Structure 1
Amino acid sequence: MTARTRIERLDEDGLGVAPLGKRQTRVPFTAPGDVVVVNKTRRKKRKLIATEFEVLEPSKMRIEPKCPYFGRCGGCLLQHLPYEEQIRFKEAKLNSILGMNVEVVPSPKIFRHRNRIDIVISTKGIGFRRYGTWWDVVDIEECPVFGPSSQKVLRSVREFIAEEKPTLYEIGKNTGFLRYVVIREGKFTGDLMVNLVTSQGDLPEDFPEYFEYADSIYWSVNRTQSDVSYGDVERFWGKEYITEELDGVRYLIHPNSFFQTNSYQAVNLLKEVAALVDGERVFDLYSGVGTFGIYVAKGGASVEGIEVNPFAVEMARKNAEFNGVEAKFEVGEDRDVKDLSKYDTVIVDPPRGGLHPRLRRRLLRDGPENLIYVSCNPKTLTNDLKELKEGYHVENVRGFDMFPHTPHVEVVVGLRRLKKGTIKLI
């Protein structure tokens, strides 16, 4: 098939939407106003996605992408749009999903902002997944959204491969030794970590010499069939942890720690959450490595937190000690949380699936006066808010662009418990 059409708008996933016969077709890497010819499509979840297309007449909205891999790499879908247009898109997306006007705070930086990238090492190439595939890789020399150190590390990886000749991962067959290199950087501290993820096997003893400029060098082994960029730590050289500092609070970062990937915008996110805290006793649910809880505790609150991942709890405790704050973290599941009425404020930062139904019911029954909901998924946030509004009303909602050039956006919602006898407006 070959058909000419015009992009009318972007959908919630950042794909251009255009009429094609009786159907609408999604075209990646396009802008409203682009005239395109679509040569081939595939069906995904009842949607038609263009896989082979050409922009015949570019929209006036378009700008030249900074990254040479744009249009092939699956990382940045919106880099061809001016940043102010990206923010407008995200505000419109949140307004549509949440049914309320939401301001989105722009990221202080839109390049060199990411503090972590996971790079595939495979027979297909060394880089990121090609858009729309799990089996193909776009070979890259550097990543502009991470920064110059990515080029240095990738150069060292290729030098190591050329000289030591290890086998590379065969995607889909689960064969080969080298699988990923994960680069992490403290944007405010300058610390650099390189984590090589391999299958089981032997790593040459001189491996660390290729990355002597890094503060922390790790070798992790993935002993599973899963194509993931983490594993069991086999050995490390240099620092056991690198550090990041966000508005005077320092965090220890381990290869297997989750941490907000945009350090510059994370500062604004933390300040927003702290400003919404009311009272002295704070419960940090889904506490992770203590990112929110420790920042709030640094401001004087007494913080308790729970997290299902034991390793994250261990890191949260280390971070609390590292900063000398009053914050206690325990291993636990959201559905098992008991008495919430003793806290002044509860902070929830759930995974993409949202709150456990049992937790929602418990919040409605004996939750605190003040509830702060941090969400990375506006759709599940909407579902949770529908039920939470039986006992709470929304006082504050704000978006934060943690992920420039992508359709993703973080949201912080401040909720206050309805007083008994309050009539809920529908």
Structure 2
Amino acid sequence: MRIRGEIKELSADGLGVLERNNRAVYVPFTYPGDVVSVNKTRRRFGRRIATDFELLESSPLRQTSRCPHFGTCGGCLWQGLRYGEQLRFKAELFERITGISAPVKGSPNIWNFRNVSNFIVTTWGIGLKEYGDPLGVVELSECPVFSKRTSEYLRALRAFLSETGLKPWNLKKKAGDVHYLRVREGKFTGEVMVNLIAHTKPSEDVAEAFKDYFSFADSLYWSLKTDERDDPRGEPEIIGGEPFIRERIGDVTYLIHPNSFFQTNSYALGSLLKAVEGFTDGERVLDLYSGVGTFGVWLAKRGFEVEGVELNPFAVEMARKNVELNGVNARFRVGRAEETPIGDYDTVIVDPPRKGLREAAELLVKSGVERILYVSCNPKAFRLDYENHLRKAYRIEDTILIDMFPHTPHVEAVIWLERT
């Protein structure tokens, strides 16, 4: 069944919405003002998603995409949308979900800004996942969103595989040797970490070849993956170079390890840190879900007395290294956010996982703390936390949106909550 019409709006997850006979079809890589013909759809999560469609007339909001893989690669739904319009729609979608009208601060760089990329290595190709197809892989030649050096990294990988005879992962049969290549860059330090995620340990010859082909890397890891899940996770073992690379944001230096979570846009991270700093009040700060100390170390550098709580022991170890490296006054410990006694703090910062605070929200309500800064890239989770728990004791005082994710529908929010 062929459906033709104009895209009138965007869904909350950034897809173009085509209305026909009171039914909606969701069309990826399209924007308001586009006229499309949809030839084929499939049902996914209760919605009709277009899988075969033609763009008949282009919206005036469009721009020419920079990446030759745009339209098939799942990384950038909005690369065909002018950047100013991206920011406008991010604010609109955030307000639609949360009811909060807030300004958006754009990313200083919208190209080559990502400091990490996970290239999947499969029998069908090496690159990134295809949009909407769990088994589809885009054979990548470049990635202008990640790095100018993407083609260099991929050439080294393909040559390494060719020489060693290591087999790419077969997604269907769940068999093979090499599954992912994860590359991290310190955008402000120029340092590079290469981490190969494989299902086999390297022989001496293979390890030497790995070091030869990736001799440009400052840090070189081989991560052994012992499960069949399709994710870039394994137990890392250093093969060559330094155990960490560094990233420097303003006057703070952060150490990065293969298992570290670090915000993916180094250029916009400064804006995010300054937004948190601007909303922080008093002297004593509790940093819940503190990770490697991204917020806590930054605030400690500015004279705040910081205590961080994080469930992951390795992240706490990294946070302590970052404290020592920067010579600041901050303490980080292992603990569950929902079991943390909320003492006499002036400000509590929460940067929860995508599912939100849940039980920890009620703990904050009962704590009596005057100010909460809720940092999140998931507005739906914030809305549920606020409506179900936080609104009992807190009002929304102010919000700033930071575009950490150009060319996607996502945006990072810093929401200042004050006790009523």
Aligning the two structures, in what range does the TM-score lie when normalised by the shorter sequence? over 0.9
Segment of structure 1 superposing worse, 16-25 or 133-142: 16-25
Identify the residue that residue 362 of structure 2 maps to in structure 1: 361
Structure 1 Cα separation of the partners of residues 315 and 298 of structure 2: 16
Amino acid at match of 2:184: R
1:243 aligns with 2:274: no
Amino acid at match of 1:108: P
Amino acid at match of 1:136: G
Structure 2 Cα separation of the partners of residues 96 and 366 of structure 1: 30
TM-score, length of structure 2 as denominator length = 0.97
Identify the residue that residue 4 of structure 2 maps to in structure 1: 4
Deviations 1:244-273 (A, max 9, x none): 001110000001100000001110000110
Amino acid at match of 1:320: V
Amino acid at match of 2:283: E
| Aligned partners of 1:246 and 1:266 also within 8 Å | yes
Identify the residue that residue 398 of structure 2 maps to in structure 1: 396
Q: Alignment identity in percent?
A: 49
Deviations 1:270-314 (A, max 9, x none): 011011111111110000000000000010111111111111111
Deviations 1:74-125 (A, max 9, x none): 0000011100000010010011111121111111111011000001011010
Question: 2:325 aligns to what SS in structure 1?
Answer: helix
How many residues in Structure 1 have an aligned counterpart in Structure 2? 416
Identify the residue that residue 309 of structure 1 maps to in structure 2: 312
- Structure 1 stretches of 4+ with a deviation exceeding 3 A read none
Identify the residue that residue 374 of structure 1 maps to in structure 2: 375
Identify the residue that residue 202 of structure 2 maps to in structure 1: 202
Structure 2 Cα separation of the partners of residues 56 and 361 of structure 1: 51
Question: 1:36 aligns to what SS in structure 2?
Answer: strand
Amino acid at match of 2:128: F
> Within 5 Å, which residues of 2 pair with 1:259-274?
259-274=262-277
| Aligned partners of 1:73 and 1:129 also within 8 Å | yes
| Aligned partners of 2:310 and 2:316 also within 8 Å | yes
Structure 2 Cα separation of the partners of residues 150 and 133 of structure 1: 23
| Aligned partners of 1:351 and 1:376 also within 8 Å | no
Question: 1:352 aligns to what SS in structure 2?
Answer: coil
Identify the residue that residue 190 of structure 2 maps to in structure 1: 190
Structure 2 Cα separation of the partners of residues 171 and 196 of structure 1: 17
The partner residue of 1:255 within 248, 253, 258 is: 258
The partner residue of 1:322 within 325, 329, 342 is: 325
Deviations 1:375-422 (A, max 9, x none): 11001101112221221122111111100000111100111212xxxx
Amino acid at match of 1:373: Y
Identify the residue that residue 153 of structure 1 maps to in structure 2: 153
- Pairwise CA distance, 1:369: 1.3
Segment of structure 1 superposing worse, 54-63 or 244-253: 54-63
- Pairwise CA distance, 1:367: 3.4
1:136 aligns with 2:139: no
- Pairwise CA distance, 1:202: 2.8
Segment of structure 1 superposing worse, 6-15 or 181-190: 6-15
Structure 2 Cα separation of the partners of residues 360 and 36 of structure 1: 44
Deviations 1:215-267 (A, max 9, x none): 11111111112111021013331011000001110000001100000001110
Identify the residue that residue 39 of structure 2 maps to in structure 1: 39
Deviations 1:291-342 (A, max 9, x none): 000000010111111111111111111111111111111111111112x131
Identify the residue that residue 233 of structure 2 maps to in structure 1: 230
Amino acid at match of 2:395: H
TM-score, length of structure 1 as denominator length = 0.96
Segment of structure 1 superposing worse, 146-155 or 118-127: 146-155
| Aligned partners of 2:5 and 2:18 also within 8 Å | yes
Identify the residue that residue 18 of structure 2 maps to in structure 1: 18
Segment of structure 1 superposing worse, 289-298 or 15-24: 15-24
Question: 1:389 aligns to what SS in structure 2?
Answer: helix
Structure 1 Cα separation of the partners of residues 187 and 150 of structure 2: 13
Question: 2:392 aligns to what SS in structure 1?
Answer: coil
- Pairwise CA distance, 1:36: 1.1
Identify the residue that residue 424 of structure 1 maps to in structure 2: none
Structure 2 Cα separation of the partners of residues 416 and 28 of structure 1: 39
Segment of structure 1 superposing worse, 230-239 or 347-356: 230-239
Identify the residue that residue 53 of structure 2 maps to in structure 1: 53
Segment of structure 1 superposing worse, 368-377 or 63-72: 368-377
Question: 2:171 aligns to what SS in structure 1?
Answer: coil
Identify the residue that residue 347 of structure 1 maps to in structure 2: 349
Structure 2 Cα separation of the partners of residues 21 and 170 of structure 1: 42
Amino acid at match of 1:60: P
Question: 1:184 aligns to what SS in structure 2?
Answer: strand
Structure 1 Cα separation of the partners of residues 386 and 34 of structure 2: 37
Structure 2 Cα separation of the partners of residues 176 and 21 of structure 1: 48
Identify the residue that residue 280 of structure 2 maps to in structure 1: 277
Structure 1 Cα separation of the partners of residues 313 and 358 of structure 2: 19
Deviations 1:348-376 (A, max 9, x none): 0000111032x222211123112111011
Identify the residue that residue 220 of structure 2 maps to in structure 1: 217
1:62 aligns with 2:65: no
Q: Which runs of 5+ in 1 are unaligned?
A: 419-426
Would the alpha carbon gap of residues 231 and 367 (structure 1) be closer, same or farther in structure 2, given more than 3 Å must change? farther
| Aligned partners of 1:150 and 1:183 also within 8 Å | no
- Pairwise CA distance, 1:173: 2.2
| Aligned partners of 2:358 and 2:385 also within 8 Å | no
| Aligned partners of 1:26 and 1:50 also within 8 Å | yes
Amino acid at match of 1:337: T
Structure 2 Cα separation of the partners of residues 61 and 370 of structure 1: 40
